[in-house]
């Protein structure tokens, strides 16, 4: 999770070859459609799409509550 959070900063400091390697690791089927870049995420990276804040994953009560210590 920490690596995913730091990815934008790390990506900026990578060489072109390193960036290509990371893109190939994360993306599947990159293509141009109607002048726009389209792609799919490989698993498990697809699980992180749309998650802006990992703390908000569980908004309600825990499904397995435990007594307080």
Distance CA 29, CA 41 (A): 8
Task: Note the pLDDT of residue 65.
Answer: 72
Task: Note the pLDDT of residue 53.
Answer: 57
Return the sign of the alpha-carbon dihedral for residues 23, 26, 31, 32.
negative
Task: Note the pLDDT of residue 47.
Answer: 81
Q: What is the mean pLDDT of residues 2-31?
A: 89
Domain boundaries defined on the chain = 2-49
Residue 16 has pLDDT above 60, yes or no: yes
What's this model's pTM, rounded to 2 decimal places? 0.55
Residue 3 has pLDDT above 90, yes or no: no
């Amino acid at each position: 999770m920490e690596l995913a959070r730091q990815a934008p900063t790390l990506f900026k400091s990578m060489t072109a070859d390193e960036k290509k390697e990371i893109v190939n690791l994360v993306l599947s089927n990159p293509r141009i459609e109607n002048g726009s870049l389209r792609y799919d995420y490989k698993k498990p990276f697809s699980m992180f799409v749309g998650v802006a804040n990992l703390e908000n994953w569980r908004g309600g009560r825990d499904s397995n509550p435990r007594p307080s210590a």
